[in-house]
Amino acid sequence: MVNAATKHEGPSGSPTAPAPTAVSTGAVVRGMVRIARPRQWIKNLLVFAAPGAAGVLTHRHAALLAIGAFGIFCLAASGTYFLNDTFDADADRSHPTKRLRPVAAGIVSVPLALGTGAVLLALAIGLAWWMAGWQLALVIGIYAGVATSYSIRLKHVPVIDLVCVSAGFVLRAIAGGVATGVALSDWFIIVACFGSLLVVTGKRSAEQQEHGLGAHRPILEEYPPTFLRSVRLLSAAVTVTAYCLWAFERSAQAPGHHHHPIWFQLSIIPVVIALLHLELRFERGQGAAPEELAMGDHMLQVLGLAWAVLFAVGVYA
């Protein structure tokens, strides 16, 4: 049995320090699984982007390295979630839904959450060094540093908070290339950066429409809706342009008559349609949870499959 807490209110109705109660070990374990956020691990599939685009996933060694990088990022991401929920515990207790998070609710103690987060991050960095050398360890370390700084302070700084969340996606894509020894092209990095910025800004736009200015995140008060819309349009335009240039560059590199370069150009079509569909969802106030959008939007899934088939034929045919 361990100590937990229940929410109490002072005379003014404001939350006060939770009173200790007994919580079973099973509840603590379930709470820790919730903090780890397994549903969020879908984001870590980005580590397969660079080796997949380079056509090395058919090689057993490269495929194993990519799978290892995926697992390492799952550890690192979960470690940052433990730290984030610890730092936000006091604020979460005032939130109508976040107060149910295991740390805020007292199911998982602050020392246990902090210790688990630190261990997961240290384990992720150590495994990255062991598997692929200091370069991958550095990427994981930067991710941990950015995510932790975001949780402590940077999520309250306008624009910088968008950059920090976007960086998490970009570092996942970079990690896949670093782990498998794949050189990352300039266009790949640009697509990753601005595609991530589009998704993150769309998330903020949806949060504004769903919860109102500052009701869900204080930083939302700093963003006029027109600013977020401008950033989305800028990000979408750069993403499309960079992807087109990347696709034409790949087609020009296709050797001999064994490849059909047209497949790379054709892959532009589902990319453009997907971005237009995303922008429509964001404009309607949808997309506050990108992982749920990816798992529940059938149109995006069909377009993603069409893109994967076209690109895979161009790379692996």
Q: Would 211 be classed as within a structural domain?
A: no
CATH number at residue 120: 1.10.357.140
Q: Which residues of the chain have pLDDT under 70?
A: 1-22, 92, 95-96, 211-217, 253-261, 317
Structure-block tokens of residue 164 = 């920090």
Q: Would 204 be classed as within a structural domain?
A: no
Q: Are residues 153 and 259 in the same domain?
A: no
Cβ-based neighbours of 231, under 8 Å, separated by 6 or more: 162, 197, 201
Question: Of 298, 159, 164, 156, which is closest to residue 234 (Cα–Cα)?
Answer: 159
Q: Are residues 26 and 161 in the same domain?
A: yes
Q: Are residues 70 and 169 in the same domain?
A: yes
Q: Would 259 be classed as within a structural domain?
A: yes
Structure-block tokens of residue 305 = 């499959």
How high is the pLDDT of residue 12?
40
Q: Would 121 be classed as within a structural domain?
A: yes
The residue behind tokens 């149109």 is 299
Question: Of 150, 88, 149, which is closest to residue 113 (Cα–Cα)?
Answer: 88
Structure-block tokens of residue 4 = 């937990």
Q: Are residues 136 and 243 in the same domain?
A: no
Q: Are residues 1 and 100 in the same domain?
A: yes
pLDDT tens, residue by residue, 257-287? 455 568 888 999 999 999 999 999 898 888 7
Question: Is the four-CA dihedral 148, 37, 21, 3 of positive or negative sign?
Answer: negative
How high is the pLDDT of residue 215?
54
Q: Are residues 173 and 28 in the same domain?
A: yes
Three state DSSP letters for 112-131:
HHHHHHHHHHHHHHHHHHHH
Number of structural domains (the chain) is 2
Structure-block tokens of residue 241 = 């342009």
CA dihedral 79, 80, 83, 89 (to 10 degrees): -120
Three state DSSP letters for the chain:
CEEEEECCECCCCCECCCEEEEECHHHHHHHHHHHHCHHHHHHHHHHHHHHHHHCCCCCHHHHHHHHHHHHHHHHHHHHHHHHHHHHCHHHHCCCCCHHHCCCCCCCCCHHHHHHHHHHHHHHHHHHHHHHHCHHHHHHHHHHHHHHHHHHHCHHHCCCHHHHHHHHHHHHHHHHHHHHHCCCCCHHHHHHHHHHHHHHHHHHHHHHHHHHCCCCCCHHHHHCCHHHHHHHHHHHHHHHHHHHHHHHHHHHHHCCHHHCCCHHHHHCHHHHHHHHHHHHHHHHCCCCCCHHHHHHHCHHHHHHHHHHHHHHHHHHHC
Structure-block tokens of residue 226 = 């027109």
Please compute Rg for the chain using Cα positions.
21
**Which structural domain, as residue segments, surrounds residue 238?**
185-190+223-317
The residue behind tokens 């895979």 is 312
Q: Would 213 be classed as within a structural domain?
A: no
Q: Are residues 36 and 112 in the same domain?
A: yes
How high is the pLDDT of residue 1?
38
How high is the pLDDT of residue 19?
47
Q: Are residues 24 and 123 in the same domain?
A: yes
